[in-house]
Structure 1
Amino acid sequence: MRRKGMLIAMMCGVLLVSACSSNNKPSASESAAASPSSSASSSASSSSEVPKEEYVIKVLTQAAMKVKRSDETKVGKVIKDKFNIVFEYVQTPGNYADKLNLMLAGGDYPEMITIQDNATFDKYVHAGALLPLDDFVAKSPDFAKRYSEQIPLWRLSASDGKLYKWEGMVPVDFRNYVEVNDIGVRTDVLKQQNWPNLLSTDDYIKFLKQGLKDNPTTNGQKTLGMIVPFAEPWGMQGIGAIMYEKGGRYTAAAGNMGVVWNQVDQKFEDMMMNEYVKEGLAFFNKLYREGILDKDSFTDKYDQFVEKLNSGRALSSWYVVWALSVTNQGLIQAGHPDIQYINMPVRSKTQIERNEKRQIRVEDTRPFAINAITKNAKHPERIEDLLAWAATEEGRILLQSGFEGEQYTIVDGKRVPTEAYKKMVADPNSDEKIGLGGFEFLGNVMTNGEDGVPYNMALDPSLQDELNLTQQARDAYSALGWANSKDYYLKTGESAHTGVAGTIAIDTTSELGALHQRMVDFRVKNSTALIIKPKSDEEFEAMYQSVISDYQKLKPEQVVNEYNRLYQEKKAQLDQLK
């Protein structure tokens, strides 16, 4: 659901950059990075010769890539020098899951594949399309150590208990990555209204109504109250229901299918009938009735959403706050430094009344960023050599921090980002031709290196706001009385590890799997109707009750019960795998 390219914009240390000219000589730091270090001694490649045959592997991406081949970047050249492997980026627009399903049906999937949901992963496993990695892990101690907590959980995702995947963005250090995606708000309008501390849905409706009244146009265009990319596959299905994660009971550990995960009670519940999902839909309905919700939100995909956001004409954006950093820089460059956006919290009426600690998800697994080697791989052993190296200290630092002397220096044994690195983070257009965002499929981790500094230096808690926020955005948080951009969330939330819950998926080929899909389709269709059709609170309530009555005829409790049965079963299996 979450999103290819999300981290590239949100954390900004993960940027794929323009190509070097072919006659450039490698820098001293590049040459040093190309030489095996002692930390890479466990990699199979460190004791073998570089293969003579260039191995070109196609990888699918939905990100806007500036290069066609990985060896057009400095990091890519190091990988080519060490392994003679080059990745060719293949743009894959449209519904990514549908594309993967078509490839599976035709058997024409690539040698390495990224999968964005457990259901599609399950289909590839059942089809025998993925190569098991158990033997690889047994001879790759760095990989086994790096992902020691994840490997047992990854095995649980497969029906036969074998290891077929590795994932990006895990493991996570909670201090480095407080993932809270709420509402992007224009700071100039906050200033107009004397810096209100927005929180409740009623707060936002009042604020946005006044904002539209005070700012009917922005830069010569009609001002929009709130924009949402509902037309994306993860739009109405995922973020249309996401109000449940803002309170004190639930996280999105279950993904965006038919169930939600109750972190407090440790059980799965029905998403369609969740009280917070209902309150979220009622909020959108009121935004729609008040003329605040952009009516194009139901047909806008991410590109259209970003275009509107980048123009500055939207007063707010729902959930997709990872685009704000790049948008803010663009608005400054366009001569509109007063128009900036910051992420602010939202809670439903019931969530505010209960005043419970928000469960801030810490993902132990990430089914939105699954990577695997397929049976179509010509040289799987060479991919495994690269994967083993990518898990070493040398590999992780190069792939996520770049080159010593260019992106960082060493002070008292710790990596310290250079001004060039900070400039790259602040303005993706001023990239350094490095390629830090071109290898996420090798596993980008959210933890610290041996020097105590995050591998992605932009995640350093002491530097996050300096590296990721404009001065105007930092000033806005100060005006609101926040110590930093995460201040509110850290005071009102607590870490919630996904654990086994993030690995549960029903067999997509079973009758219950088919029922699960019908539940999702029903929710998506009727959520749109519940937002658009009711003309009053009373009409919304009546329509909601009618929809739920029809929904219950599907007998969705069968799927919820199966999720909870599988959870208990897999908890027992995990104890055996550890």
Structure 2
Amino acid sequence: MKASYQKFLSSVIIFCLLFVTACSSNATKESNSSESPSSQSPSGQSSAAAKEEYVIKILTQENNQIKRSDETEIGKMIKEKFNIVFDYVQTPGNYADKLNLMLAGGDYPEIIRIQDNATFDKYVQANTLLPLDDFVASAPEFAKRYSVQIPLWRLASNDGKLYKWEGGVPVDFKNNVEVLDIGVRTDVLEQQGWPNLLSTDDYIKFLKQGMKDNPTTNGQKTIGMIVPFAEPWGMQGISSIMYEKGGRYSTAAGNMGVVWNQVDKKFEDMMTNEYVKEGLGFFNRLYREGILDKDSFTDKMDQFQEKLNSGRALSSWYVVWGLTTANHGLIDAGHPENQYINMPVRSKTQMERNEKRQIRVEDTRPYTIYAITKNAKHPERIKELLAWAATEEGKLLLQSGVEGEDYTIVDGKRQPTEAYRKNLSNVDALRSKGYGMFDFLGSVLSNAPDGVPYSMELNPAIQDELQLTEGMRNAYSKLGWTSSKDYFIKTGESANTGVAGTITVDTTSDLGALHQKIVDFRVKNSAKLIIEPKTDEEFESMYQSVIADYQKLKPETVVAEYNRLYQEKQARLNELK
């Protein structure tokens, strides 16, 4: 979900690479005979000049101006060290479907990004990925960096081998309080006396009044709430995400057919979850009131971002990581009053229970899986680069930039320069530098030895200073918050994903086929439940009818298999530790 931690990019930069099975034996032979990563110099400079330029295609769904990695500052340094260049190829459309088609046709490039455990399982079962166990044994920095993750990653494969690494882990909870709720326009909050919005009823009342008071914004018709439901993770993932706002569930299970009960340590069915139902009911009310943008069902990120950047939307659902960038754009356009901040939401039942919110801390991140396929032309060179990316030199360059330009050392700690601070509000500058363009080499949300996060903007001491505009800081102050995460930290607690984030049903089995069927059923009927009911009574009647049809699929067999696998893998993990 999404899958979300690059807070200053207007959309998530998606990278994926894949390889042809027919070349697997040659690639494996080449890998086995290659020099181990640990025998290379950390910089790679001693051998880079002697190697031919190695261009690797990277599939991306973002329409950006960067076509080759050596157009960025960081990319130029990588080329100097390793003579490797990444060629970014835009691939519009449904990404999950594209991966399945590539697998079926055997037509995939050299490094692959996978966004869920089920698709990863398909690639493992098809014998398309290179094992990384020998690599880990020869790359001590990589092994140390992912010491918690590696046993969990091995659990995700049916043979216990290591085939992947992931971006965005490990995580320090204080650095990344990931709460993606509702972006709200601050001028409308001010108009209504700075209400502390929380319940779904609060939002219905607030947004209705906001649309009445502001029929147009900057010459365009005002929209109540925007959502990119047309993204692959849209209707499937964020239409049901209300379950994470309460005190029982985290998003460790992803956005397939089950949810993870963090408190009771068990999987439950997603479609029949009470919070999922309340979330769909909330969207139905928004739709009936004319608050939910009718184009949400066809809007992808580009259309969503345009509406956010124009300021015409009073609110945005879940996708709040681009608020700061949108705010800076609105300021530059002469509309500093139209600012957005992230605010919490809870369903009626969640309000009544008033339980601590389970804020996900990812031990694994199945939304950002990376692997080397057996069609890699030079797998040993990819591994050499991957080993370097796990060193302090690599981690600091990829996530903090260059000393003197992006940070200085004060009392032994990195301090961001003014140039770095300015870049954070400029998407083009971030791309030109290379931030976010190399996440497939692994990005971490933890601290460096100096105690400062590798990505300096995550430093809790300066997070709001770097991330918030003056208007955002003023809004949180008016609401009585001491920081942008104040409410969430006071009312939530860390919830490590552990083994739960590694579980998936065998996609080649009958249960795997059933799992996909119940996901498809939920996606189709979620849209129906949002759009069609004209009253609360009609929603309830339709929901009961939908659930009756759903139960005929026997989804409980999938849930039971998830729980069986969880118990089995928990026992295996105890053995691997």
TM-score, L = length of structure 1: 0.93
Cα deviation code 1:445-501 (max 9, x no counterpart): 000111111000010011111111111011100000000100000000000000000
1:427 Cα deviation from its structure 2 partner: 2.4
Q: Do residues 501 (structure 1) and 497 (structure 2) align?
A: no
Which stretch has the larger CA shift, 46-55 or 549-558?
46-55
Cα deviation code 1:414-467 (max 9, x no counterpart): 110000000001223445842122110000000011111100001001111111
1:566 Cα deviation from its structure 2 partner: 0.3
- Give the 3 Å change call, closer, same or farther, for CA 435–157 of structure 1 in structure 2: same
Q: Do residues 381 (structure 1) and 371 (structure 2) align?
A: no
Q: Report the Cα distance in structure 1 between the residues aligned to 2:423 and 2:139, rounded to whole angstroms.
A: 34
Q: Report the Cα distance in structure 2 between the residues aligned to 1:488 and 1:548, rounded to whole angstroms.
A: 35
Q: Do residues 44 (structure 1) and 40 (structure 2) align?
A: yes
Letter in 2 for 1:241: S
- Give the 3 Å change call, closer, same or farther, for CA 43–342 of structure 1 in structure 2: farther
SS of the equivalent of 2:409 reads strand
1:569 equivalent in structure 2: 568
Letter in 1 for 2:302: D
Instruction: Please tell me whether the aligned partners of residues 11 and 458 of structure 1 are also in contact (alpha carbons under 8 angstroms).
Output: no
Letter in 2 for 1:2: K
Which stretch has the larger CA shift, 202-211 or 430-439?
430-439
Instruction: Please tell me whether the aligned partners of residues 500 and 571 of structure 1 are also in contact (alpha carbons under 8 angstroms).
Output: yes
Instruction: Please tell me whether the aligned partners of residues 13 and 60 of structure 2 are also in contact (alpha carbons under 8 angstroms).
Output: no
Letter in 2 for 1:83: F
2:536 equivalent in structure 1: 537
Q: Report the Cα distance in structure 1 between the residues aligned to 2:138 and 2:11, rounded to whole angstroms.
A: 31
Cα deviation code 1:311-368 (max 9, x no counterpart): 1111111111112111111111111000010000000010010000000000000011
Letter in 1 for 2:293: D
Letter in 1 for 2:166: E
1:407 Cα deviation from its structure 2 partner: 0.2
Map 1:92-111; keep pairs closer than 5 Å: 92-111=91-110
Map 1:52-131; keep pairs closer than 5 Å: 52-131=51-130
SS of the equivalent of 1:57 reads strand
Instruction: Please tell me whether the aligned partners of residues 15 and 436 of structure 1 are also in contact (alpha carbons under 8 angstroms).
Output: no
1:2 equivalent in structure 2: 2
Instruction: Please tell me whether the aligned partners of residues 424 and 432 of structure 1 are also in contact (alpha carbons under 8 angstroms).
Output: no
2:21 equivalent in structure 1: none
Letter in 2 for 1:516: H
2:27 equivalent in structure 1: none
- Give the 3 Å change call, closer, same or farther, for CA 64–458 of structure 1 in structure 2: farther
1:185 equivalent in structure 2: 184
Cα deviation code 1:495-545 (max 9, x no counterpart): 000000000001111100111111011111111111111111111111111
C-alpha RMSD of matched pairs (Å):
1.7
1:13 Cα deviation from its structure 2 partner: 13
1:65 Cα deviation from its structure 2 partner: 2.9
Which stretch has the larger CA shift, 74-83 or 7-16?
7-16
1:98 Cα deviation from its structure 2 partner: 1.1
**Aligned residues, how many?**
552
2:244 equivalent in structure 1: 245
Cα deviation code 1:94-136 (max 9, x no counterpart): 1111111111122121111111111111111111110000000
- Give the 3 Å change call, closer, same or farther, for CA 123–246 of structure 1 in structure 2: same
Map 1:215-364; keep pairs closer than 5 Å: 215-364=214-363
Which stretch has the larger CA shift, 241-250 or 119-128?
119-128
Q: Do residues 436 (structure 1) and 435 (structure 2) align?
A: yes
Q: Do residues 395 (structure 1) and 394 (structure 2) align?
A: yes
1:10 Cα deviation from its structure 2 partner: 3.9
Q: Report the Cα distance in structure 1 between the residues aligned to 2:277 and 2:436, rounded to whole angstroms.
A: 38
2:173 equivalent in structure 1: 174
Q: Report the Cα distance in structure 2 between the residues aligned to 1:102 and 1:9, rounded to whole angstroms.
A: 31
Letter in 2 for 1:207: F
Which stretch has the larger CA shift, 198-207 or 104-113?
104-113
2:26 equivalent in structure 1: none
1:14 Cα deviation from its structure 2 partner: 10
Cα deviation code 1:212-234 (max 9, x no counterpart): 11001111111111111111111
Q: Report the Cα distance in structure 1 between the residues aligned to 2:269 and 2:55, rounded to whole angstroms.
A: 45
SS of the equivalent of 2:558 reads helix
1:7 Cα deviation from its structure 2 partner: 3.7
SS of the equivalent of 2:170 reads coil
1:480 equivalent in structure 2: 479
1:288 Cα deviation from its structure 2 partner: 1.0
1:208 equivalent in structure 2: 207
1:71 Cα deviation from its structure 2 partner: 1.5
SS of the equivalent of 1:122 reads helix
Instruction: Please tell me whether the aligned partners of residues 181 and 345 of structure 2 are also in contact (alpha carbons under 8 angstroms).
Output: yes
Which stretch has the larger CA shift, 230-239 or 149-158?
230-239
Q: Report the Cα distance in structure 1 between the residues aligned to 2:517 and 2:201, rounded to whole angstroms.
A: 33
Cα deviation code 1:64-86 (max 9, x no counterpart): 33221111222112111211111
Instruction: Please tell me whether the aligned partners of residues 43 and 385 of structure 1 are also in contact (alpha carbons under 8 angstroms).
Output: no
Q: Report the Cα distance in structure 2 between the residues aligned to 1:529 and 1:141, rounded to whole angstroms.
A: 52
Instruction: Please tell me whether the aligned partners of residues 142 and 392 of structure 1 are also in contact (alpha carbons under 8 angstroms).
Output: yes
Q: Report the Cα distance in structure 1 between the residues aligned to 2:283 and 2:13, rounded to whole angstroms.
A: 34
TM-score, L = length of structure 2: 0.93
Letter in 1 for 2:175: N
Instruction: Please tell me whether the aligned partners of residues 133 and 161 of structure 2 are also in contact (alpha carbons under 8 angstroms).
Output: yes
Q: Report the Cα distance in structure 1 between the residues aligned to 2:573 and 2:338, rounded to whole angstroms.
A: 50
Q: Report the Cα distance in structure 2 between the residues aligned to 1:432 and 1:316, rounded to whole angstroms.
A: 27
Letter in 2 for 1:381: E
Q: Report the Cα distance in structure 2 between the residues aligned to 1:91 and 1:460, rounded to whole angstroms.
A: 33
Instruction: Please tell me whether the aligned partners of residues 227 and 299 of structure 2 are also in contact (alpha carbons under 8 angstroms).
Output: yes
1:19 equivalent in structure 2: none
- Give the 3 Å change call, closer, same or farther, for CA 518–315 of structure 1 in structure 2: same
Map 1:436-455; keep pairs closer than 5 Å: 436-455=435-454
1:15 Cα deviation from its structure 2 partner: 9.3
Q: Identity percentage over the alignment?
A: 76
SS of the equivalent of 2:47 reads coil
Q: Report the Cα distance in structure 1 between the residues aligned to 2:98 and 2:117, rounded to whole angstroms.
A: 15
Letter in 2 for 1:385: E
Q: Report the Cα distance in structure 2 between the residues aligned to 1:275 and 1:528, rounded to whole angstroms.
A: 17
Instruction: Please tell me whether the aligned partners of residues 431 and 437 of structure 2 are also in contact (alpha carbons under 8 angstroms).
Output: no
